[in-house]
Amino acid sequence: MILISACLAGFNVRYDGGNARNDLAVKLVAMGQAITVCPEIMGGFRTPRLPAEIQGGTGDDVLAGQAVVVNRAGQDVTKEYLAGARMVLKIAQDHGVTVSFLKQKSPACGTKLVYDGHFTGHRIPGMGVTAALLQAHNIKCFGDEDLKLANVEPYVAPITWGNLHHNNLLA
């Protein structure tokens, strides 16, 4: 089973109230090959909400207690990010997830890049809190830029692959 950020499947759960819809994500969910999660919503946030960034490091550092997640108003929201990440991990484990495709640059879901905590648009290498927790539990984490047919093939049922490959489903 594949885990996908809910915003990629078209759910309006991003901090700004929007989504980052990816047609392949929508198809995978519709065909029962993927499940969606939003660690920020699961952690108790509403949509829309103030943007948040990791200060003092990356998701790995937050998990180690060496960095925090703060919103634009300066409120420490680390507890909520950790709670959401733990819920996502439980769901992933309960559903036999082996791979995830997550929204890049998010303080929760970023897989290669996260914002540096200064709210200036500068990014640094590293993972978000949820991605770091999933990776620590041997669940492969890819960013949304990697959500392509060739990259999902090893993780979908053959009949699904045929339908995806021939693009005979419109999303």
**Per-residue pLDDT band at 61 (split at 50, 70, 90):** very high
The residue that leads in pLDDT, 159 or 6, is 6
Distance of CA 95 to the CA centre of its chain: 16
Q: Which pLDDT score is estimated for 44?
A: 98
Cα distance between residue 159 and residue 155, in whole Å: 12
Q: Which residues contact 99 (CB under 8 A, 6 or more apart)?
A: 2, 3, 139, 140, 141, 142, 155
Q: Which pLDDT score is estimated for 166?
A: 62
**Per-residue pLDDT band at 170 (split at 50, 70, 90):** low
**Per-residue pLDDT band at 162 (split at 50, 70, 90):** confident
Percentage of residues in the chain with pLDDT exceeding 70?
A: 96
What are the phi and psi torsion angles at 36 (to 5°)?
A: -110, 150
Q: What share of the chain is helix, strand, coil (3-state, %, to 5)?
A: 35, 20, 45
Q: Which pLDDT score is estimated for 168?
A: 57
The residues spanned by each domain of the chain are 2-166
Cα distance between residue 117 and residue 73, in whole Å: 12
- State the average pLDDT over residues 31-38: 96
* Helix H or strand E segment including 52: strand 52-55
Q: What is the pTM of this model?
A: 0.95
Read off the pLDDT of residues 68-125 as tens digits, 9 standing for 90 and up.
999 999 999 999 999 999 999 999 999 999 999 999 999 999 999 999 999 999 999 9
**Per-residue pLDDT band at 167 (split at 50, 70, 90):** low
Cα distance between residue 166 and residue 36, in whole Å: 24
Q: Which pLDDT score is estimated for 94?
A: 98
